[in-house]
Amino acid sequence: MTAPLNITETVTNWLARFSAAMANGNAAAAAALFTDDSHWRDLVAFTWHIRTFSGRDAVRDALARDGVAMAPTSLRIAPGRLAPRMVTRAGVRCIEALIAFETKSGRGSGILRLVPAAAGSVEHKAWVLLTTLDEIKGHEERIGRRRPRGEEWSGGFGGENWMDHRNKQIAYADREPAVVVIGGSQSGLGIAACLGVLGVDTLVIDKHE
């Protein structure tokens, strides 16, 4: 009698094998954990682009070119998220798991879908993998507990106040911006605001006064 499938254990084992292969710089061994018709979609996490790689050979080449260099670690089932479960996607019965990971540059999350390696097999391989960059190390969003509270402006007199600080920021007399956004439209202002939350010094310029 076949033992019932332990979904969480199956996902954990796959992540451990993938992590070990990547730690050894063995893209071929990592790609061997994917099905022939697998798909890996990366949203900036490994490639710094939005890319899709279809087929085991394409996945292997992408892992060799970009994945190994990014040194992924801490691959795990995403804590506090929906637990791995059996689902049907595009007519295929598979295990679907929300995952989390780190690279040398950032922290990310994604989706892993596993299918049996062969009919009746207990071994599972990746059919679909999505990897998404959530934050860049050293430029974490200043939200939640990281949000500026303004304590530096809330006590004492005689020093710079918030307006003095803002005027100095706007003048750019003592530094160059890290990023220049051309155009103060909704998109330009939105980009600048997002970069500001990441702690990236951004100057917006526009032809209108």
* 175-184 pLDDT, tens digit each: 999 999 999 9
pLDDT at residue 102 tops 60: yes
Pure H helices in the chain: 7-23, 27-31, 56-62, 162-171, 186-197
pLDDT at 3: 61
The residue type of 119 is A
pLDDT at residue 195 tops 50: yes
Query: What number is the average pLDDT over the span 162-172?
Result: 85
Closest-CA residue to 204 (of 177, 182, 174, 175):
182
Q: Residue 24, Cβ neighbours under 10 Å: how many? A: 11
How far apart CA 116 and CA 123 sit, in angstroms, is: 6
In this prediction, residue 4 has a pLDDT band, given cuts at 50, 70 and 90, of: confident
pTM, two decimals, is 0.78
Query: What number is the average pLDDT over the span 109-116?
Result: 97
pLDDT at 155: 63
* 34-64 pLDDT, tens digit each: 999 999 999 999 999 999 999 999 999 999 9
- Percent of the chain topping pLDDT 70: 95
Query: What number is the average pLDDT over the span 15-33?
Result: 96
Closest-CA residue to 86 (of 8, 143, 149):
8
Instruction: Give the torsion sign (CA, 101, 44, 112, 24).
Output: negative
pLDDT at residue 2 tops 70: no
